[in-house]
Amino acid sequence: MENKDIKKTATDQGSGDGPEKNLSGPKASDHPGIVLWKRLLFLLITVVLMLALLEVALFSAGVNPVLLHDDPFVGFAENIPLYITKADSQPPGILETAPNKLTYFNLQTFSSPKKSGTYRIFTLGGSTTYGRPYNDSVSFSGWLREFLPAADSSRNWEVINAGGISYASYRVARLMKELVQYEPDLFIIYTGHNEFLERRSYGQLRGGVKGAATELAGKLATTRTWSALSWSLQKINALPKSKDSLRATLPGEVETILKKTGPDSYSRDDALRQEVVEHYRLSLERMVDQAKAVGAAVIFVSPAASLKDCTPFKSEHTKGLSAAQRSRSLELLSAARKKIKAKKWSEALAALDEALIFDPRFAELHYRRGNTLFALRRYDEAKAAFRRAKEEDVCSLRSLDAMGEVLAEVAKNAEVPLVDFVQLLEGHVQDNHGHTILGQEFFLDHVHPTIEGNQLLAQQLVEVMGARGIVEPSETWGDQAIATVTEKVHGQFDKPMQALGLANLARVLAWSGKGEDAERLAVQALQLEVEDPYITKTAATVIASQYLHDDPDRAWEYFRLALNTDPMDSKLHSKLGQWIADTRNRQVEVGYAHLLHASVFWSGPNRDRAHMHLGVAMAQRGRPADALAHFLEAQRLNPKSADAKKAINQLRRQSAAPLNNVVLQKVSVKKYPSGNIKMIVQVKPDATGRYIADGFWTEWYEGGELKGFMEYLRGVPQGNKMAWDQSGRLLEES
């Protein structure tokens, strides 16, 4: 009875004047939005399955993704092979580095086809892989070549160094198209520092959605469906066969922005930076795909760089600052530099922190802040500041943090081992110095490791290869075997080779405006005490240039050292003369004498500058006609010189008498038996046609230093004769 009542009550509640209610709620079919969502999901799943089946079918048909053989973002004007058959090789079939590639690559030789039992390794990347500033013998490739047979003698190991100077990842990926033909077993790839070296854009992808378009283009290029679709569209002329309108066309070999115009050509472009990072990802994926296509293994190496001892290549103020703010930022930076030099760390830090409040993207502010925090032993903060300086460097010649993340992702997704070179070196720095900030302990400059750094990387590669079953270390492999190899490698690499590499690197860094870093390497080159005029002159000139303003006496000392090694170097005479004429840190006559030397013997560019300075000297000495003659000569040497044109016009306006028929003095030269200059005298013909002294009379020591100076006017001495000893000390004015 109770149950019936309950049932009846429920029925009664459902009755009434209105329609009967559904107590279970509305059905899903009653909501159009849900129905549409289900249909779209079903359609999406169907499309994905169809594309997956199409990819499988195309794979079976032998269709490869565009990415395997082409780069959607850059093309190349020509394709010159890196390796060619060696002429008259015995045995036949020996390949060697093509002669026209030796500017960028080490000379390497190997056989084709590969000899039985050989395990062939190609090392790829840029100048670090090459072995800069030295060569292959002390690169990580060279070390690996020596370590492998010592660790495992059961195989015939072959390590071919295919590292190309200034090669970015997209050039490395292109090079692999050639290398996969040579029966590789393993590619070891160290790339990431050179991505911003070459000027390129991303064609029509540069629009409002360029970042997304770049990423989408890269993803499509990895599919076989896109490869088949683009091929079909080209066949019916629905898609142009040429992709040049959509991508940059680069020359067959590297043409870097630095080499053409230097760091000043760089400017901040965050959008381009992101595109370059995506292109880097694409290039890494291309390398893996190409290797896997021929059954070769891949090992990636994370690029490491100096943080502590590498000044930024170019700093740029934060966008939107007023002129007053930019000026204030530079004032605070200048003040901080002085405080750092005086080791007043807290005051330096205060100035830098103040500047960073309104100018947070100026790279050098972060770098100097890192210097200061490091001196205060606040290592974690210092490391963060140094890393920020690297990231804000407008001239990005060190791998960005984002690139390290991309490399790790690609390696993980492709199940490729990644040797963390950064972590490896940081561990050694921690053990020996109590911090993890990389600097000159393992780097010669911004990215090139020391010989020891390359050795550590090679040892780590042997361990990784062992873990992957490629190497089976023998019982004799250990500290003693490593020590034996180390002695052998160092024995093959002598001091002159090391000093030459350091001097050349110092010269390049000085040219790029990194005087501090250049000086450190130049000092190291001289400390090796190699008797080589080129090395001594190059290193001494770099050091002298660093002290032109802060320490003139020290600059003079190194200029003299450079001159003594090459007394006839007219470029050096010009640089020395201009410095003295501009700063007056020594008797100005010394500067005029060196400029006279340069004006006579220098045939290189900027020779007009020597005549411009000599023209100013003559004008100041009340000789307007001779001044005009030098200005006119400067204009002849450099017709585009605005300075020469201005000086000529100004001199003509200021001259009390018309300056007509001006003639540049000739010079009389006497030499020592060695061929070095003993005397240079400016002369003009007198009324009888005989040449007499008229202008500057100079006498020289055989080592290139000025010995005496005198001015003449139509054969008559003007003022006192000046004389110096070989150290440059003024002896007399008589």
Residue 709 lies in a domain: no
Lowest mean pLDDT among 81-95, 100-114, 126-140, 313-327: 81-95
pLDDT number for residue 368: 98
The CATH number assigned to the domain holding 254 equals 3.40.50.1110
Q: How far apart, in whole angstroms, are the C-alpha atoms of residue 555 and residue 547?
A: 5
- Assign 3-class secondary structure to 346-374: HHHHHHHHHHHHHCCCCHHHHHHHHHHHH
Nearest in space to 168 (alpha carbons), one of 128, 126, 133, 202: 126
Percent of the chain having pLDDT more than 90?
71
| 141 shares a domain with 207 | yes
| 417 shares a domain with 457 | yes
Percent of the chain having pLDDT more than 70?
83
Q: Which is it for the CA torsion 183, 185, 191, 195, positive or negative?
A: positive
Q: At which of 392, 421, 452 does a domain end?
A: 392
| 333 shares a domain with 200 | no
CA distances from 284 to 168, 265, 278, 290, 340 (A): 11, 27, 10, 10, 42
Q: How many CA atoms lie within 13 A of 529 on its CB side?
A: 0
pLDDT tens sequence across 495-528:
999 999 999 999 999 988 889 999 999 999 999 9
Residue 462 lies in a domain: yes
In sequence order, the 6+-apart residues with CB closer than 8 A to the CB of 330 are: none
Q: What is the pLDDT averaged over residues 428-448?
A: 97
| 227 shares a domain with 138 | yes
pLDDT number for residue 457: 99
pLDDT tens sequence across 657-710:
777 778 889 999 999 999 999 999 999 999 899 999 999 999 999 999 999 999
| 192 shares a domain with 268 | yes
pLDDT number for residue 219: 52
| 224 shares a domain with 106 | yes
Q: How far apart, in whole angstroms, are the C-alpha atoms of residue 659 and residue 625?
A: 6
Residue 70 has pLDDT above 80, yes or no: no
Q: In this structure, what are the phi and psi dihedrals at residue 242, rounded to the nearest 5 degrees? A: -85, 130
Q: What is the pLDDT averaged over residues 272-295?
A: 95
Q: What is the pLDDT averaged over residues 576-583?
A: 90
| 190 shares a domain with 54 | no
pLDDT number for residue 55: 62
pLDDT number for residue 549: 84
Residue 282 lies in a domain: yes
Nearest in space to 191 (alpha carbons), one of 294, 91, 58, 282: 282
The CATH number assigned to the domain holding 357 equals 1.25.40.10
Q: At which of 392, 411, 435 does a domain end?
A: 392
| 68 shares a domain with 57 | no
Residue 235 has pLDDT above 50, yes or no: yes
Residue 625 lies in a domain: no
| 242 shares a domain with 124 | yes
- Which residue did the predictor score with more confidence, 39 or 622? 622
CA angle at residue 260 from 258 to 264, to 5 degrees? 55
The DSSP annotation for 466-522 comes to: HHTTS----TT-SHHHHHHHHHHHHHHS-HHHHHHHHHHHHHHHHHTT-HHHHHHHH
Q: Which is it for the CA torsion 314, 320, 326, 330, positive or negative?
A: negative
Q: At which of 376, 392, 408 does a domain end?
A: 392
- Cα 79 from chain centroid (whole Å): 24
Residue 637 lies in a domain: no
pLDDT number for residue 237: 53
Count of domains forming the chain: 3
Q: What is the pLDDT averaged over residues 322-336?
A: 98
Confidence of residue 1 (pLDDT cuts 50, 70, 90): very low
pTM: 0.78
Residue 29 has pLDDT above 90, yes or no: no
Lowest mean pLDDT among 80-84, 196-200, 511-515: 196-200
Lowest mean pLDDT among 348-362, 601-615, 676-690: 601-615
pLDDT tens sequence across 725-734:
998 899 976 5
- At residue 534, the 3 state secondary structure works out as helix
pLDDT tens sequence across 472-493:
999 999 999 999 999 999 998 8
Is the distance from CB of 677 to CB of 669 less than 8 angstroms? yes
Residue 8 has pLDDT above 80, yes or no: no
Residue 363 has pLDDT above 80, yes or no: yes
Nearest in space to 115 (alpha carbons), one of 145, 92, 82: 92
Domain of 39? Answer: 32-62
- Which residue did the predictor score with more confidence, 430 or 243? 430
| 261 shares a domain with 178 | yes
DSSP class of 670:
E
| 357 shares a domain with 220 | no
Residue 206 lies in a domain: yes
Residue 653 lies in a domain: no
| 306 shares a domain with 386 | no
Residue 691 lies in a domain: no
